[in-house]
Amino acid sequence: MINKVRKRYQSSVLMVGLVSMLLIVGLCLAGEAVAATICVPRNYPTIQKAIDAARRGDKVLVSQGIYYENITMKEGVTIQGGWNKDFSRRDISSYVTTIDGGKRGGWVVCGANKATLDGFTIINAKAIVRDDARIGAGIYCVSTSPTIINSTIKKNEPAGIYCTGSSAAIINNVICNNEEAGIYLENGCSLKIKGNSIRDNKMAGIGTGGMVVSRIEVRNNTINNNALGGIEAKAATGTIHNNIIYKNKQAGIRCVITPMDIVNNTIVDNGRSGIVVEDPSVMPTIKNNIITHNGESGIRAAGKGYSYNLLFSNNLTDNCDPHYLWCIRRQYGGYEDEKSFLKHKDMIADPLYVDPVHHDYHLQPTSTAIDGGDPAPEFRDVNFPPSMGSSINDMGAYGGPFTIPEKRKSNNPPQANAGPSQEVYVGDRVTLDGTGCNDPDGDFLSYQWKFVSKPRASKARLSDSKAVNPTFRVDVPGDYTVQLIAKDRWGKSSNSHSVRVTTLSNHPPIANAGELISHVFLGDAVTLYGGGSKDPDADCLNYRWELAFRPSTSQATLSDLNASSPTFVVDALGCYVARLVVNDGKADSVPDTVYISTRHNAKDGKRNVPGEYPTIQAAVDAANPGDDVVVQKGTYKESVVIDKNMNLVGIGWPKIDGGSKEGDINTIMIAYLGDRAGRVEGFVITGGGGGSMGHGISIWDSSPTIVNNKITCNIHNAIGIHGRKVLTGKTKIYNNHIYDNMIGIGNGRGSEAHIYGNQIHHNRVVGVGSRGLAAPRIEGNYIYGNRIGVGAREVASPHIEGNHIFDNVCGITIGPVSTIRRFAGEDIIIKNNLIFSNHQCGVSITSFNLSKVIISNNTIDSNNHHFVTKERGGGVVLGYPFPATFDAVVANNIVTNNKTGGIVNYDGTELFPAPGAAMMNDYNNVWNNENEYAGCPPGDKDFSKDPLYVSVASERNGNYYLSQRASGQVSNSPCVDAGSNTASRLGLRNKTTRTDKVGDSGIVDIGYHY
């Protein structure tokens, strides 16, 4: 064969349509060429020699095999791998063509302008140092503009692809298992990165840097399982559209300096936040994304630049309720509240992925993300599938104009559902309901309604036969049948489905038993009044009365059960209940009742339920100040309002069930009694309402004693205390079992309740919360199994002392945000608590707090072992999402065995550092944490030694006593007598760290005292 000889393409050959075999053979023959094809190894033994011989417009075809060389591309030349041995067929999967640069070092492929590399496996680049620069990468581009397409770039160092000052197009490649970034660019690059799989690289999937800002267009890629972030845009602007970014060890997308348009991505299960914008001064565009299950927040962007996103289960929130602040703030890095996030048109909901376990992030047809994006025309869906629904943007990677079309598997017909049958009266307007229609493929549906039958005299018409909810007015008696057919976007129709609307000839009557009759006396004749009952059709009414309840000693009977106004004689003290049903000859009414209570001083000051009164409220209404309402075992389905000084006492754990209704419903309401409020004791209290002011027990401007109750299964708060200090300061809540509520105890609007000795556990949001300048005393409780053990959502000053706080997601979290004007409150005291085994952090004081925090004599052990994240996790974490500015005293604590950090004072990022909290830490034992300190130095009197914990089996959580010779152990813990002052001055003289329970004396032992 004669080398370096090319044959020209002949137009006549093309015109006659020779088969591809003859064409390839002809192209590889000798002769001159306008645009020639060179075959390796047929024409040249190495790829580089073929490139050297090529001219602009030529193709170098490379057959399968491994080529141990390092090549430099040439301007205008296409290099194509994946050919079989005789160049008769190309299949890059079957005929793998590998360039292995491991023998020489440096890059494997060096780029060139307008050159194309297509269909290769590029491996084993070895970084070398040349002129004080580290040179390497699978593909190395310096001020060039190659196209890299359909290739696998793996196992290279430092990066898979490195670009500086370049304008490369990187399309449809697999870029994986490289020693640093998959793609790294810097110094004014302009890259198009489309359709690639970028995974398992030992740094970022895509990383940027340098002094000159680059521009990137990142579209339709899958970026996953990289050891840093998915996209680390330190110095780049541009667009990030329609990517799937999951399971990267750090953030999904991290933008540092310059703004970025981040639109229609699906970002799932990354180790830190889904999207981070580090510079709080920039305004990104974050829109139409689905961001779920990320280790920290979904979006952390200083509260701006985002709209029309779906967030779900970020930062350990699981399937949380977006009506609660805790759920929302953790999605947004501490920003937003229950109303503000809705103004951005964002939603917090399960996106309903098809198969998230196997990373199929297509949406199920019922997903709220379908048609949930920005409705502006520039974001409309154009490719069906993968988009579904109407042309309004589907959130996530499969929505918007830049999705990649997918082949439709099949088109199943929609299923029509015309709604349930209805019974109405003549003159009523009927609303039909087609919302139950569905399409198995998620297609947008159109509707066609029509009357199948109606009474002959009817002139009823549908308001809009193509609406999902058309209406019509029933104009004559009879039956109306309306048919619905649904049709998908491709024109396929459902089977018809019909609904029947039947007219009723008779309206039921309405019973009225009259108003409450109170203050009757023994021997009185009471007249009942049923004359207020009525019938809408003006029919005559028949009356049917009964005494539904009377005191247990009463023999009272009604004078005439069928009279409009019967009478009876009060023959016993207590409450009577009369029930009335009226009938119009065709139907009974709903029963109505009236209560009649005697006015009397209760014997021994006790009013008995149900002996004397049928309901608790009836007894409360009849009670005099100072009375006890004594309630026997049973279930009482009612809401109770206590508006007088009295005690509510349960015998045998009676249950008061408020019904678990929506709205601001309280099972027990204690209102405006100040320090005259009485006691609630011995009840199971459940069924508080789902509104933001719904409670099991609601306390307003009152100081009751709530003792020895089980308060459980209230939709919102178990107990809520609201009011001025002078009116709530004597509230006592102790020895209660508070569990399985959304919030255990909520302190708001100045509450200074004393909360002590309670078991507060497994509440879905917070055990004890504070807001609105509340300053509760939270002492000696067991607080466990909650999302947050003790928290503050607004400026508040809780005093947290002597508690066992364990097995929560976060032990203590103080995170006020500007739902009210930001200012510092009184000091927050966290003293002598045992804080251990919380899943993420022991104590977290966020950067939004401005109050001084004093953290002293706590034992903080083994936190953050379940979910390890860098900034938020650890023993004591001050700051985040930004460095803090408050003052903090951290003294006399034992901080041990925490993952991530023992004491963390978050000091910002590499490019946006700050000092963090003004911190005085001293006399702490910080030992055996993953990092003892982060963002702060040890205090002068801090030390790091095994505290020598000793267990006492008879003591609950008794694993944190300190070894002391005086109590029988072999040696003294280094924490004994190691504190900053005497136990007496620090208020711990009657507490102990010793197994023999002798109180602390002299210089205080550091750590928790039992």
pLDDT of residue 225: 98
pLDDT of residue 16: 30
Beta bridge partners of 347: 310
What ranges make up the beta strands (E) of 169-241? 169-171, 174-176, 183-186, 190-194, 197-199, 206-209, 214-219, 222-224, 231-233, 236-241
SS3 622: helix
Q: And the tokens for 994? A: 């010793």
The C-alpha angle with vertex 337 and arms to 335 and 342, in degrees rounded to 5, equals 105
pLDDT of residue 869: 54
Q: And the tokens for 482? A: 């309306």
pLDDT of residue 976 exceeding 70, the answer is: yes
| Model confidence band, residue 323 (pLDDT cutoffs 50, 70, 90) | confident
pLDDT of residue 103 exceeding 60, the answer is: yes
| Model confidence band, residue 823 (pLDDT cutoffs 50, 70, 90) | confident
pLDDT of residue 25 exceeding 80, the answer is: no
pLDDT of residue 659: 97
| Model confidence band, residue 821 (pLDDT cutoffs 50, 70, 90) | very low
pLDDT of residue 23 exceeding 90, the answer is: no
pLDDT of residue 133: 74
The lowest-confidence range among 79-83, 598-602, 954-958 is 598-602
Domain boundaries, the chain: 422-504, 517-596, 624-782, 787-1010
pLDDT of residue 30: 40
Q: What is the mean pLDDT of residues 485-506?
A: 96
| Model confidence band, residue 603 (pLDDT cutoffs 50, 70, 90) | confident
- pLDDT per residue as tens digits for the range 643-665: 999 999 999 999 999 999 999 99
Pick the CATH number of 624-782 from 3.40.50.2300, 2.160.20.10, 3.40.30.10, 3.30.420.40: 2.160.20.10
pLDDT of residue 486 exceeding 70, the answer is: yes
Identify which has the larger pLDDT, 259 or 75: 75
Q: What is the mean pLDDT of residues 700-722?
A: 97
Nearest one of 323, 319, 269, 278 to 296, comparing CA atoms:
269
- pLDDT per residue as tens digits for the range 734-751: 999 999 999 999 999 889
CB-based contact 991:999 (threshold 8 Å): yes
| Model confidence band, residue 135 (pLDDT cutoffs 50, 70, 90) | confident
Q: And the tokens for 658? A: 């408020």
CB-based contact 568:557 (threshold 8 Å): yes
Residue 313 has phi, psi (to 5 degrees) of 60, 30
Three-state helix/strand/coil letters over 317-364: CCCCCCCCHHHHHHHCCCCCCCCHHHHCCCEECCCCEEEHHHCEEEEC
What ranges make up the beta strands (E) of 426-558? 429-431, 445-453, 471-473, 479-488, 497-504, 517-520, 525-527, 542-549
Identify which has the larger pLDDT, 5 or 807: 807
pLDDT of residue 822: 59
pLDDT of residue 867: 58
Residue 696 has phi, psi (to 5 degrees) of -70, -50
Signed CA dihedral, 362, 366, 369, 372: sign only = positive
| Model confidence band, residue 131 (pLDDT cutoffs 50, 70, 90) | confident
- pTM, two decimal places: 0.85
Share of the chain above pLDDT 90, in %: 86
For 517-596, give the CATH class.
mainly beta
pLDDT of residue 715: 95
- pLDDT per residue as tens digits for the range 349-381: 999 999 999 999 999 999 999 999 999 999 999
Is the fold of 422-504 the same as that of 517-596? Answer: yes
In the chain the first and final C-alpha atoms are separated, in Å, by 93
> What DSSP line would sit under 225-240, residue for residue?
--SS-SEEETTEEEEE
Placement of tokens 């002959």 in the chain: 456
| Model confidence band, residue 18 (pLDDT cutoffs 50, 70, 90) | very low
Report d(CA 472, CA 460) in Å as an integer. Answer: 6
pLDDT of residue 165 exceeding 70, the answer is: yes
Nearest one of 714, 570, 597, 578 to 655, comparing CA atoms:
714
- pLDDT per residue as tens digits for the range 176-229: 999 999 999 999 999 999 999 999 999 999 999 998 999 999 999 999 999 999
Q: What is the mean pLDDT of residues 669-683?
A: 97
pLDDT of residue 820: 44
| Model confidence band, residue 13 (pLDDT cutoffs 50, 70, 90) | very low
- Pairing status of strand 894-896 against strand 925-927: parallel
- Quote the DSSP letter at residue 797: -
pLDDT of residue 70 exceeding 90, the answer is: yes
Nearest one of 324, 315, 312, 294 to 764, comparing CA atoms:
324
Residue 13 has phi, psi (to 5 degrees) of -65, -45
pLDDT of residue 17: 36
Q: Give me the amino acid identity at 491.
A: G
Helices (H) and strands (E) in the chain, counts: 7, 89
Contacts of 149 (CB under 8 A, 6+ apart): 116, 117, 118, 119, 169, 170, 171, 172, 173
| Model confidence band, residue 865 (pLDDT cutoffs 50, 70, 90) | confident
Q: Which fold has domain 422-504?
A: Immunoglobulin-like (2.60.40)
pLDDT of residue 22 exceeding 70, the answer is: no
Residue 856 has phi, psi (to 5 degrees) of -140, 145
Burial class (CB within 10 angstroms; exposed 0-12, middle 13-18, buried 19+) of 357:
exposed
pLDDT of residue 506: 93
- Pairing status of strand 147-149 against strand 116-118: parallel
Report d(CA 826, CA 774) in Å as an integer. Answer: 10
pLDDT of residue 242 exceeding 90, the answer is: yes
The C-alpha angle with vertex 781 and arms to 776 and 786, in degrees rounded to 5, equals 90
Q: Give me the amino acid identity at 67.
A: Y
Report d(CA 111, CA 74) in Å as an integer. Answer: 8
Q: How far is CA 834 from the centre of its chain?
A: 28
